[in-house]
Structure formats: C-alpha cells, structure tokens
Amino acid sequence: MNKKDIGTFNITFKTTLEHYNQILNVLNQNVDVISDSVVPDTKELYNNDDYFKKLVKAEKDARNNKLNYINKHNV
C-alpha cells in the first residue's frame, strides 16, 4: 500500500453511548483512529443565543478558509 492509497476521513454518527463504544472498539481493531469525540447537543443554545450563532459561523468560515488554503498549497 502506498501513500496515495491511504486517506483520512471524518464521519459523525448519532447513536447511543453504548453503540459509540462498540463502534470505537471495532474501529480500533481495524484502522488507525486519530481522534474521536462526543459532540454536545447545541441545538437549543444555537436557537436562543445570537453570540453562539456568531461563534458557529466564525468557526465554519475559519474551517473553510483552512481547507481552501490546504487545497491550494498541498500539491
């Protein structure tokens, strides 16, 4: 297997904590897990807090800018 055959992926699942642990155990047996995290439920905060909405937008914009930079310079 060469470098071009290996990719890095990010997938978000919504499931129970029990299933999360089962999925993580299976993944750890078969692939190199670089990071994992439990995503907090921010729906109510987003719907009721304008400052939080601005933070979410700023994070999204920064992530997109970072990806654009990587794609432009990672030849």
State the pLDDT at residue 7.
87
pLDDT over 70, % of the chain = 97
- Cα torsion through 27, 28, 32, 37, rounded to 10: 80
Instruction: Please tell me the distance from the alpha carbon of residue 69 to that of residue 65, in angstroms, as a whole number.
Output: 6
pLDDT over 90, % of the chain = 76
Structural domain boundaries, residue 42: 3-73
Number of Cβ within 10 Å of residue 45's Cβ equals: 14
State the pLDDT at residue 1.
62
pLDDT at 8 over 90: no
Tell me how many domains the chain contains: 1
